[in-house]
A and B are shown apart, each in its own frame.
Chain A
Amino acid sequence: MDKRTKSAASSPLLTGYRPSPGVADELFDRAGEMRPVWTPFIRALSNLSEEELRAKFERGRQYLRDAGVYFRQYSGDPLNEREWPLSNIPVLLHETEWNEICRGLAQRANLLESVMADLYGPGRLLTGGHLPPRLITENSHWKRPMVGVQPRGGHYLHFLAFEIGRSPDGSWFVLGDRTQAPSGAGFALENRMAMRRVFPEDYPRAYTHRLVGFFESFRSTLEDLATANRSEAHQFGLLTPGRANDAFFEHLYISRYLGMLLLEGEDIVVQNGQAMVRTIEGPVPLGLLWRRIDSNFADPLELSPDSQIGVPGLVDAVRSGNLAMVNALGSGVLETRALMAFLPRISRVLTGEALAMPNIATWWCGDDAARAYVRENVDRMMIAPALALDLPFDSNSETVRGAEPEIVDLLDHPAPDLVGQETVALSTTPAWHDTPEGSRLTPCPMTVRVFAARTAEGWEFMQGGYARIGPDGDASALAMQRGGSVADVQIISDLPVPDVAGRRPGPDPSGQRRVRTESAALPARAADNLFWLGRYVVRFEEAARLLRAYHLRLAITDAPEDRLLRMISEFLKPVGIEATQAIPVGLRNRLFSAHNCASKVRDRFSQDGWIALNDLVKTVGQMTGSATPGDDAARAMSVLLRKTAGFSGVVTENMYRYYGWRFLSIGRALERIDALAAVLETFADPAAPDGALDVALEVADATMAHRRRYALGTTRDTVVDLLAHDTGNPRSVLYQLREMQRLAEDLPGATLSARPSALVRELLPVRTRLEVDQPEDVGTDIMREIRRAIARMSDRLADAHLR
């Protein structure tokens, strides 16, 4: 063993790997020996060439790119995303050490639950002098409407995260508790998936504890909380602030992974004290929300009035005892920095026990003795607002070094608004760095985020975690403010861990779990976005076809004043498209609208369809500015039309035929009919110039079909026959009307009553008319009538399903 350790320790990768004196290191213990969990891994790494290593690392990055994992920060641009900064080297911890950590944190989780129950119950910690009342009464995260409200299911806290670090003496301590709406669990999963692609080898993979069991337990807890003691079925969902949030990807990913609804505030209404999901079938009861929005924003009526992302009446639903909340509204108060100064004592008061794992030494400067101590030792203090909620190393944290002169001055007077915390040195862990002397492992400071979920058996911990890796050089927690990377934390067993590959916590298709049908819970907002996605994509396509027809003719005649060209440009102008531009702004906007709708329903939308749509957006962006009117623009339109066909192909071929797909398809059909009717109204008008009928055929992609069917040449009647009546032509009004009727009759509620739905009732007269009338009877007035009927159908659909 010693020899093998030595061979690993002497790896050239570790040249210059020198942990700073006075800090602990994950790779080497205090005696300078490599920790046994790392040895086989480092040895395996050392046997690889730099090229092989780089190829492995690239596999991980490729996985993350393909999976769409990205890093996002709040900024003006909601689509500002950059590559996920995953460190190529995992953090390895032995299970014995991990179990010890989890034991300490389970005690802390129970303590936090007791503190929460007291702050929203009798308040004895305050009246009894164990916690200065003003830390609570002046705290904007202590939510008065929640005082006295009993949580459904009996517990306030269900999902927690702890940020921990290792002290120089090798023991672990807590840097901060995340109790409001902890993020990172989904990213931990993705990090793991990526690491498995980087290091598929037996070690450490086979010896690493899996993450999936944790999610399985948590999911069944959520389901029990949502459904237990109910007389009717209840849904449960994850409440997200929306896609502008920096953790939206995680909300999307984790809701898919757990098979739960991804909901925004708009999706929920509260009626008679019961939260309901607005679905295409009307409101259905909601039993639980895993909220990923701050309590302050949860309800504009009883919490922050300026919230745009909350649910009016949500507090009422909780107060009525009908809605379980993970975690209870108001749980953010437990993240208050100053609370850590009192938790060690509170632990003894409430439980009679000392904290098994200490938290970072904290002094509240409202207490004179504590302030004097901080003042005296200010050189080794971090100073922060007493009511700060962030972690000391968050990039936007208000935490500063105590030694700043203006801070020292503040500490000369009572400072109830400040806390001092010991400047801690974190342990270092190996990270892969490119240096001028070559690529090698470098010791970098780290903290680990540990996730805990309440289950029927008590707190269960994710067997692994999410590490933040700071820049090398400075191991203080404050240095982490400068950012860095993240790493997969792997918990290593001495024996291979039984494989549970392929297990997912979501609904089991074998039917062992109760499988919720999609139909019962398609949120109206999602259906609305899919409907409009369908409409915008077709609008984009129809405009691109007209623009191609325009620029093809312009390339030949170079005469924009030509009657036919003018007819096309005047046709497009009222809908905001300037045909003389190569890539008109109005065309791009249609695509952006489609993309916008799709981005709101990424949880219910084909991954490949999303990729295809992004590719379209990228292509249009590249063409803008480079394409020129005429032949070049015509070619550009052909490229866009091909790519649009790719998107539509994914939608028609690959998407599961659930209700969401029907709304998308109805949107497409509606828009097709409207576009066909509009084109026929203008370009098949008897007064239209020569060549207009050819434009109509081109726009409907029916030139070849027409040639085959009508050998004698193009007349108004043949074009109207093919584009309005022909049920064999998918680009005819009648074909699309029948298609839409079929789709509409499959919508919920359409088959329950003997009468056709309001939507179908709007459709039937125009359908009958086209079936009975001959092409020569079909004038432009009928086309206008069809377009009016289409507008009414859209309204009827919205009334019935999208309210």
Chain B
Amino acid sequence: MTTMRYDVTLRIGYDYTSPTDRARNLLRVLPRDIPGVQVIGDWSLTLGPHPSEQRHFTDFFGNVVTSAVWHGRIDEVRITLNVQAERLSVTPLLALATPLSRLSQELAVVRDISADSPLHFTAASRRAPLDRTMTAFARDRLAPGMSVLDAVRAIGTAIYEEMTYSSDATHVDTEAAEAFAKRAGVCQDFSHIMIACLRGVGIPAAYVSGFLRTLPPPGKEKLVGVDAMHAWVRAWVGPETGWIEFDPTNNQTAGTDYITIGYGRDYDDVAPVRGAMRGAGKQTSEQSVDVVVLDG
């Protein structure tokens, strides 16, 4: 694979049925620079109506956060992001595979607590709680002597095969266990299920939010989840290899077709929009994504 360059356009809109006063949003939509993996070029992010305050900061996990505050009343928000991103081809993994049976000892000696440390991703989290059913499902995919890397792939593939992609089965607040019981959901559900499965068998797992290229390379099928923001999974497979990324919705390693926005323990940490509004009304939202390959 070679380096891929993309032009990404994201549009998100919220309409409030009654005006909301002093709305406040945290956006995690801007892809981050990842040394050796991803380089971010020119970008623009516009919000309408124009916020009273807008600034950017970096969160604990190194994701770029945009804070937008409106001091008055608004009845809609329109977010438009345009960004050029370069995804570098990564050297294939070396075969220094850690056996799954040794992973807990490896983790026990980790003292690193920086953002990339696997220790942040071992515990159950609100959107990916441990669940007996999912843990048992994951355990059934394991074989004696398996490497962590193979275990991650086996579990990811099993979820892909077991689950049906359906945008009607779940909504943004559906719990992972419920989506798993239905055996249906969208990329967010696939990812939370895989995270819960991996953590259930002791593998540190993170949630990745980002984009997929809209049109496939010539001769390949269009991927699932291209028309909206996408999510996949990051798993820690041992001290030598570190993190790998797997997309259970498309049953493949996340490579140069993917653009990463950010990492978190689950959706809560990287939700594209976290908002607070004052007012009695409800909100409706829409989203569109276009990822165009440049000089492809």
Contacts and interface: CB of A to CB of B under 8 A. Distances in A.
Given A133-B113, A137-B120, A271-B53, A312 B24 contact: yes
A316 B122 CA distance: 27
Interface in B69-92: 69, 71
Contacts of A127: 111-113
Given A270-B24, A301-B274, A136 B59 contact: no
A126 B71 CA distance: 42
A313 interface: yes
Given A126-B111, A145-B59, A312-B24, A134 B122 contact: yes
Contacts of A129: 111
A272 B112 contact: no
B43 to A, nearest CB: 23
B interface residue count range (under 10 / 10 to 19 / 20 to 34 / 35 or more): 20 to 34
Given A123-B113, A128-B111, A145-B59, 10 more contacts: A126-B111, A127-B113, A133-B117, A134-B119, A137-B117, A137-B119, A138-B122, A144-B61, A301-B24, A305-B126
Contacts of B126: 304-305
A588 interface: no
Interface in A296-325: 300-302, 304-305, 312-313, 316
B150 interface: no
A617 interface: no
A interface residue count range (under 10 / 10 to 19 / 20 to 34 / 35 or more): 20 to 34
Interface string A140-164: 1000110100000000000000000
B276 interface: yes
B21 interface: yes
A699 interface: no
Give the most central of B52, B268, B276: most A CB within 10 Å.
Answer: B276
A544 B275 CA distance: 45
A263 to B, nearest CB: 16
B26 A300 contact: no
Given A137-B123, A270-B24, A301-B26, A312 B276 contact: yes
Interface string A260-298: 000000000111100000000000000000000000000
Nearest to A148: B60
A52 B111 CA distance: 65
Interface string B264-296: 000010010011100000000000000000000
A376 to B, nearest CB: 23
A129 B122 CA distance: 19
A56 interface: no
A304 B127 CA distance: 11
A129 B112 CA distance: 10
B11 interface: no
B60 A136 contact: no
B143 interface: no
B127 to A, nearest CB: 10
A197 interface: no
Interface string B116-137: 0101101100100000000000
Contacts of B111: 126-129, 133
Minimum-distance CB pairs A-B, first 3? A312-B276, A138-B123, A144-B60
B139 interface: no
A349 to B, nearest CB: 15
Contacts of B110: 133
A435 B276 CA distance: 58
Given A126-B111, A305-B274, A137 B69 contact: no
B283 to A, nearest CB: 15
A493 B60 CA distance: 52
B170 interface: no
B183 interface: no
A654 B103 CA distance: 72
B119 to A, nearest CB: 4
10 contacts: A127-B112, A127-B113, A134-B122, A137-B120, A145-B59, A147-B60, A305-B126, A305-B271, A313-B69, A803-B21
Nearest to A146: B60
Contacts of A272: 53
Given A147-B60, A305-B268, A313 B24 contact: yes
A140 B122 CA distance: 12
Contact of B60 (A138, A145, A300, A313): A145
A545 to B, nearest CB: 32
